[in-house]
Amino acid sequence: MYNTFTGGAVHVVFQGRDFQDVTVQLPPKITPALSGLPGASRTFTGRDETLDRMLEALAPDGTGRQRAELVTVVAGLAGIGKTELVVQTAVRARNNPGWFPGGVLFVDLFGYDPDRRLSPEQALDGWLRALGIPGEHIPDGLQELQRLYRSVLAAYAEQGRRILVIIDNASTEEQARPLLPTDGTTAALVTSRHTLDGLEDARLTDLDVLDDHASATLLDQALRRARGDSDTRMADDPDAAAAIARLCAGLPLALRIAAAILAAAPTRPAPSLATALKAEHTRLNKLRRPDRAVRAAFDLSYQLLDDEPARLFRLLPLNPGPDLSTEAAAHLADSDPDTTEELLQHLADAHLVEYGHVWGRWRLHDLVRLFADEHGHTQAAVDQRQTARARLFTHYQDTTAAANTHMNTGPGTPSLRFDDRSTSLAWLDAEHTNLITTATTAPALGHPQTATALTLDLARYLRFRRRFHDWSTITTVALTVLRELGDRHSEGIVLNNLGLALREVRRFEEAIDVHTQVLDIYRELGDRHSEGGALNNLGLALREVRRFEEAIDAHTQGLD
């Protein structure tokens, strides 16, 4: 079978059954109607290093051919600026003489929008028409479309008219893979909310949020772009700009919406917006404009989750600290660590969860946390949310108690939960922020016993690590709980710890007052042993303020 199709700008020859071989002959001159590249924003900042690396990968070598890195995948959270980065990269690459004389092919696959999602066949059909292939010569079927498309790209490359391919917003490898060139010369940039590590030989780039300086700069640039250089509300109030940037958590979409809100109200001062965004329960509602919204961007990713990862995603905000371990997440999910790790990895691939500073720890972007928590409240009964929180708090409480047995230098059998003191310290160091935050928030969440237990079992650790501010904070919270419960003995222990912490930070007069209260409690209870300890601590505090006679008296009574 031999078929020759002519006409239009390109000669296409299909040879063999089912188009096994495709030969493309380009005429001497051709000006294809390549798909339009979106305009590059003039308010672009904070991505210089990443952009330079991507340009370096696109630069032709000395022979005019593409370097080894033919495919770059840019992945990240919704609204993180993936499309803007590749557009900025493409514009610079296209403007470099000799890099991509054939132009740029761009397609938005709308991979996360079920109503607008393009199939590979639809994308290839549109690209072939943009490349100058007459409609009557465009075959049906994915394989035939791929062969023709790749042959056309190869023909362009062979004649020195290399094209840059941009595949935007792909949700899966299956959606993106048929659009990738295979001629060894044509380069491609791919964006996705998923990592797409299944694309062979692709360089993976995970895009992070902007830092504080870049966030404030973007706010200022976007506002000036909308209202002119005379609008200096951000520059005039750097504190308000920093607050807005922090509340937007470095997410470019949120930052641009914030700037648009101010641009729409030229008399609104920047601190007004900062104040409006402080309330967590309404922040996502405020970060929206008629044509875009942070919540809507997140929702497209959330809707693609299966039931189990979606449930874990909704439970993750129950952790009161900034990150959590796989083990802690397993207690939330009431599952084993291996299964939980797979679910977390699935969420991380979708960039709904971020990797922590070490493997085995996970965290949520601040705005994603608010989004997940909203869905968690709506599904609280289905997810058994209160029971999940109780499991997590019990895990923190029991494991802290086990670690504390290794901090005790006196007699006693250390827990087998940890091998030795160093492993228990490593766990306490890793969970320190979670434990402090749990101890301070647990009473308001209906778990007062968790607060008191953590306060008692963290005392040795916090003193050893000299975290006296944290020690004072959790003892103050625990005292309120114990006084409501009427537990005078535990109140005396916690008060004594507070006095020790105050003495360590040289707040001696306050320490004296606290140790005096401790002494009164133990005398009331008739606990002579604890009374002696209280007198000793009181004497040490009195000595620090040179009240030596009173110190001698306290130590003498303690000795008796």
> pLDDT of 357-406, one tens digit each?
899 999 999 999 999 999 999 999 999 999 999 999 999 999 999 999 99
Q: Read off the tokens for 225.
A: 């772009």
Query: Which has the closest alpha carbon to 133: 150, 109, 158, 108?
Result: 150
Q: Rounded to two decimals, what is the model's pTM?
A: 0.84
Please provide residue 501's backbone torsions phi and psi, each rounded to the nearest 5 degrees: -65, -40
Report the chain's terminal Cα–Cα distance, integer Å: 111
**Would you say residue 17 lies in a domain?**
no
Please provide residue 510's backbone torsions phi and psi, each rounded to the nearest 5 degrees: -65, -40
Residues 6+ apart with CB under 8 A from 275: none
Domains: count for the chain: 4
DSSP run (H or E) holding 441: helix 421-441
Please provide residue 280's backbone torsions phi and psi, each rounded to the nearest 5 degrees: -65, -35
| Distance, CA of 490 to CA of 449 (rounded, Å) | 12
Asked if residue 453 and residue 534 are part of one domain, the reply reads: yes
CB 480 within 8 A of CB 455: no
| Sign of the Cα pseudo-torsion (408, 410, 414, 420, in order) | positive
| Sign of the Cα pseudo-torsion (432, 433, 437, 442, in order) | negative
List b or e across 341-353, with b for residues whose CB sees 16 or more CB atoms inside 10 angstroms.
bebbbbbbbbbbb
Asked if residue 525 and residue 504 are part of one domain, the reply reads: yes
CB 172 within 8 A of CB 182: no
Asked if residue 545 and residue 418 are part of one domain, the reply reads: yes
Asked if residue 486 and residue 425 are part of one domain, the reply reads: yes
Asked if residue 74 and residue 187 are part of one domain, the reply reads: yes
User: How high is the pLDDT of residue 68?
Assistant: 58
Residues 6+ apart with CB under 8 A from 386: 380, 446
**Would you say residue 220 lies in a domain?**
yes
Q: Read off the tokens for 557.
A: 């009574």
Q: Domain holding 348: CATH number?
A: 1.10.10.10
> pLDDT of 170-190, one tens digit each?
999 999 999 999 888 899 999
Final residue in a domain of this structure, among 174, 197, 220: 197
**Coil, helix or strand at residue 435:** helix
**Would you say residue 9 lies in a domain?**
no
Instruction: Write down the number of H helices and E strands in the chain.
Output: 25, 13
Give the Cβ contact number of residue 154 at 10 Å.
18
Residues 6+ apart with CB under 8 A from 229: none
Q: Read off the tokens for 464.
A: 């050893």
Tens-digit pLDDT string for the chain (560 aa): 222 223 334 444 444 334 445 555 555 444 555 657 888 899 999 999 999 999 999 988 765 555 557 899 999 999 999 999 999 999 999 999 989 988 899 999 999 998 899 999 999 999 998 888 888 888 989 999 999 999 999 988 888 888 999 999 999 999 999 999 988 889 999 999 999 999 988 999 999 999 999 999 999 999 999 999 999 999 999 999 999 999 999 999 999 999 999 999 999 999 999 999 999 999 999 999 988 999 999 999 999 999 999 999 999 999 999 999 999 999 999 999 999 999 999 999 999 999 998 999 999 999 999 999 999 999 999 999 999 999 999 999 999 999 999 998 777 789 999 999 999 999 999 999 999 999 999 999 999 999 999 999 999 999 999 999 999 999 999 999 999 988 898 888 888 888 888 888 888 888 888 888 888 888 888 888 888 888 888 888 888 889 888 888 888 888 88
Asked if residue 396 and residue 367 are part of one domain, the reply reads: no
19 DSSP 8-state letter: G
Residues 6+ apart with CB under 8 A from 82: 74, 75, 76, 168, 191, 192, 193, 207
Q: How far is CA 465 from CA 167, 338, 457, 501, in A?
A: 51, 32, 14, 12
**Would you say residue 265 lies in a domain?**
yes
304 DSSP 8-state letter: T
Asked if residue 368 and residue 392 are part of one domain, the reply reads: no
Asked if residue 229 and residue 157 are part of one domain, the reply reads: no
Q: Tell me which amino acid residue 548 is.
A: F
**Would you say residue 362 lies in a domain?**
yes
Asked if residue 408 and residue 509 are part of one domain, the reply reads: yes
CB 462 within 8 A of CB 504: no
Final residue in a domain of this structure, among 146, 173, 197: 197
Q: How far is CA 519 from CA 428, 486, 528, in A?
A: 31, 17, 10
CB 451 within 8 A of CB 474: yes
**Would you say residue 180 lies in a domain?**
yes
Asked if residue 368 and residue 404 are part of one domain, the reply reads: no
Query: Which has the closest alpha carbon to 58: 29, 103, 87, 89?
Result: 89
**Would you say residue 97 lies in a domain?**
yes
Query: Which has the closest alpha carbon to 100: 142, 155, 45, 161?
Result: 161
Asked if residue 252 and residue 162 are part of one domain, the reply reads: no
C-alpha dihedral (457, 463, 464, 466), degrees to nearest 10: 130
How far, rounded to the nearest angstrom, does the alpha carbon of residue 481 sit from its chain's CA centroid? Answer: 34
Final residue in a domain of this structure, among 320, 349, 382: 382
Q: What are residue 22's DSSP bridge partners?
A: 14
DSSP run (H or E) holding 106: strand 103-108
Q: Domain holding 479: CATH number?
A: 1.25.40.10
Please provide residue 479's backbone torsions phi and psi, each rounded to the nearest 5 degrees: -60, -40
Query: Which has the closest alpha carbon to 295: 78, 42, 45?
Result: 78
39 DSSP 8-state letter: P
Q: Containing domain of residue 374, as a range?
A: 308-382
| Distance, CA of 304 to CA of 297 (rounded, Å) | 12
Q: Domain holding 79: CATH number?
A: 3.40.50.300
Asked if residue 179 and residue 47 are part of one domain, the reply reads: yes
Segments of 483-536 assigned E as strands = none
**Would you say residue 19 lies in a domain?**
no
Q: Read off the tokens for 11.
A: 């000669």
Place of tokens 């465009």: 138
| Distance, CA of 328 to CA of 334 (rounded, Å) | 10
